[in-house]
Structure 1
Amino acid sequence: MGKFEVLQDAKSEYRFRLKAGNGQTILASEGYTARSGCMNGIESVRTNSQDDNRFERKKSSNGKHYFNLKASNGQIIGTSEMYESATGMENGIESVKTNAPKATTEEV
């Protein structure tokens, strides 16, 4: 089963990472000034990850594939790692859809 890890970075901003059952990070957030904002971000991932239209599929300048998960207002909630192929990216999206709804949350 997947899990959300909540951490505080060197700038004292709160971030979360969604990890799959195998421990691989499949989605990471931007920084939040308050822990409550980070927790709201996690809830937004749980909700928005169930709508395929919320996934913005992208290709970087170096040819690698990645995706952003967006809220209904268009704001980016989280960004994936870089994938070598579009198929790998689609597998990452499916993993977010599968893991996010029931993922546990822990502080690291």
Structure 2
Amino acid sequence: MHIECTDCLDLYINMSNAKFEVFVSSRNSQYYFRLKSGNGEIILGSEGYVSKQGCLNGIASVKANAPYDSRYERKDSFQNYTFNLKAINGEIIGRSENYVSSAGRENGITAVKRDAPVARIDDLA
């Protein structure tokens, strides 16, 4: 199999720049994380956490569960496609943005699988 150099470069840029951002909401003072791909696009967001440690534990769970396709719950409605990432116990640990097609959603899942395990954590809180 031959891989174009530009494909390798794109993969490297996405992997090396992917990051989880931890922040506090001014609305409710809870901690949240968002996963950004190498191009800066938000590909996964969290529920609110009361503590920063809880938020960091959520990130660890995303990193552990992201590679497994069985952990993704795909949701469809008219021109609105989303996914939830679930832990092994069925708890939702991340939610996607809205996509206008199922193909777009699958690209989002692929990005989370690729980026989450290697993403760094930026503490903005």
Give, as a single letter, the amino acid of the residue that structure 1 aligns with 2:55.
C
Structure 2 residue 56 is matched with structure 1 residue 35: no
Q: Contact conserved, 2:79 with 2:99, CA < 8 A, in 1?
A: no
3-state secondary structure, aligned to 1:82: coil
Which of the numbers 63, 72, 96 marks the counterpart of 1:80? 96
1:46 paired with 2:31, answer no
2:53 counterpart letter in structure 1: S
Larger Rg: 2
State the secondary structure of the residue aligned to 1:45.
Answer: helix
TM-score by length of 1: 0.96
- For 2:83, the aligned partner's letter is F
- Letter in structure 2 aligned against 1:30: E
From the two aligned structures, give the one with the greater helix fraction: 2
Aligned residues: CA RMSD: 0.8
Which consecutive aligned stretches of 4+ in structure 1 deviate over 4 angstroms post-superposition? none
Residue in 2 that maps onto 1:64: 80
Shift in Å, 1:59: 1.4
5+ unaligned residues in a row in structure 2: which ranges?
1-16
Shift of residue 66 of structure 1?
0.4
SS in 2 for 1:105: strand
Query: Displacement of 1:63 after TM fit?
Result: 3.1
For structure 1, the 5+ residue unaligned runs are none
Give the percent of matched residue pairs that are identical in Structure 1 and Structure 2. Answer: 53
